[in-house]
Structure 1
Amino acid sequence: MDLNIRGRTALVTGASSGIGFETARVLLNEGATVVMTGPDPDELKDAVDRLSAFKDSLFAYDADVTVASAVDRLAADVAAEVGDLDILVNNAGIHGAGGLFHEISQEGWDRTIDVDLMGPVRVTRAFLPGLRRGGWGRIVFVSSEDAVQPYEDELPYCAAKAGLLSLARGLSRTYASEGVLVNTVSPAFIATPMTDEMMSARAKEQNSTFDEAIASFLREERPFMELGRRGRPEEVAHVIAFLCSDAASFVNGSNYRVDSGSVATI
């Protein structure tokens, strides 16, 4: 399917790996100009090198979404060197503080909310003026199954991702009349560095192999993931790309679950 985004300009946060990297790759394949961001310059350079076939359509700037001045500098650099955006994909995030509610420190809460909720707020505020000027825009927030199906040992992450659903819904009501459509995508247990880290820790705790940790996690913690495996980053990226396109011209304020059935409700 031709998504008709050739010539559009997109920014993807958290683009050094996982869902963000695959989203950048899919958008580039569709003919978009893509700006990749991430907090680690070395990881970002490696990601750019892996996409060298698209070097004429690819820009990269390291930026920490928790630092307002860094986000403002990113917006200024993109405006000067690339121009206004048509597409913004807010993907940057961390798993953050884990444990039961009474075990999580204030610092753990603050860090998780700062990255996973306030990071997208900062980035969206910085780039929204350009999106509005174009009269055509797409904003996609990467939320999570946890937003609507919270787990007791990762409540800061759950709360932050639930906040993104509310934020996106509110923005979708505000700017659709200007041509800027806002939606969310909610993955579950995707094969990314974040879940690799989770499964490595689980394997160590259980004195098991990495694959055994994944199998036990699916069996014990995610029983409604009917396909019985972790998702692939590109499986999420293709849904994001659809929402960034003209093919989704009547989709606004929606949440697309890419979760193998993990959320056990309609």
Structure 2
Amino acid sequence: MKIELNGKKALVTGSSGGIGLAIAQGLAEAGAEVVLHGRNADKLAAARAAVASRHPGARLGTVQSDLATADGAAALCAAHPDVDILVNNAGYFAPKSFTEITDDDWQYMLDVNVMSGVRLSRHYLPRMMAANWGRIVFISSESALQIPAEMIHYGVSKTALLGVSRGLAELTAGTGVTVNAVLPGPTRSEGVAGFFAEMAREQNVPQAQMESDFIARHRPSSLLRRLATVEEVANMVVYACSAQASATNGAALRVDGGVVRSIA
């Protein structure tokens, strides 16, 4: 299967690093024009350079905005009012005891992880429907199905994305537009790698051991028995954005390494 996205314009939020950057790389490889997004100008410039280095001649754009706010989402939409592919990847995680999660913590988690995608989809979906072609992908998590006790607010935000994704997909019936969610399992993104590196330093153990211990203790149902790579997650996203995935709509596509013990 050769995925070709020539002539398509893709926006990947939170793509200055980690899974988002890997998705941007994959879409650029497939021939799409890619708009990278982030909050930090230096990281965003480095991400653009990384994609350009791997894919010389790729059509690339960047936009800097804070998607935790309505103004940030509006600025992004104004900069790029029309796209064929929207990957709602912007998000963050924050391990914290439930009793210590404040109202502000809850609100910020929902603003970043949920409302960012809601606002952008509200803008781009009608335009895709008018064109009778489009792809919206929400990056959820296996934590949406198995809420992690160590960060309940994160899990709840990812569950919400499944509801939004499926609801929007219902609106696309009979059109060339699809809306899907992708559920990564534990993945060695920059943020996750940094988290484990810090824990390894604090406990004076190798980072590889820390990662292995985490999977064994906190994700014992994993069949992969390791962290996924960002490229493994990106491969699923690129497929969901392709013409070949035209019959995949309203789905929750798992790249969880078998963590979720379910056949449905």
Q: TM-score with structure 1 length normalisation?
A: 0.93
Residue in 1 that maps onto 2:71: 69
What is the count of residue pairs matched by the alignment?
Answer: 261
| Stretch deviating more after TM superposition (175-184 or 110-119) | 175-184
1:129 and 2:126 aligned = yes
CA drift at 1:72: 1.2
Q: 1:36 to 1:176 in 2, by over 3 A?
A: farther
CA drift at 1:4: 3.5
CA drift at 1:78: 1.2
- Is the 1:176–1:252 Cα contact (8 Å) retained in structure 2? no
SS at match of 1:61: strand
Percent of paired sites with the same residue: 37
Matches within 5 A, 1:3-152: 3-52=3-52, 53-79=55-81, 84-96=82-94, 98-152=95-149
The RMSD of aligned alpha carbons is 1.5
CA drift at 1:138: 0.6
Instruction: Select which of 207, 219, 223 maps to 1:222.
Output: 219
Query: Separation in 1 of the partners of 2:191 and 2:260?
Result: 20
CA drift at 1:135: 0.9
- Unpaired runs of at least 5, structure 2: none
Residue in 2 that maps onto 1:199: 196
SS at match of 2:115: helix
CA drift at 1:104: 1.4
1:174 and 2:176 aligned = no
Residue in 2 that maps onto 1:153: 150
- Unpaired runs of at least 5, structure 1: none
- Is the 1:65–1:123 Cα contact (8 Å) retained in structure 2? no
| Stretch deviating more after TM superposition (150-159 or 123-132) | 123-132
CA drift at 1:223: 1.2
SS at match of 1:223: coil
CA drift at 1:232: 0.7
CA drift at 1:54: 4.0
Query: Separation in 1 of the partners of 2:57 and 2:12?
Result: 16
CA drift at 1:132: 2.1
SS at match of 2:173: helix
Residue in 2 that maps onto 1:165: 162
1:217-249 deviation digits (Å, cap 9, x = unpaired): 011111122222111111111100111111111
1:83-139 deviation digits (Å, cap 9, x = unpaired): x2111100111003x333212111211111111111111221232232222210110
CA drift at 1:181: 0.5
CA drift at 1:55: 4.9
Query: Separation in 2 of the partners of 1:114 and 1:212?
Result: 34
Query: Separation in 1 of the partners of 2:22 and 2:45?
Result: 15
1:37-84 deviation digits (Å, cap 9, x = unpaired): 1111110000001122445511111111112122212111113xxxx2
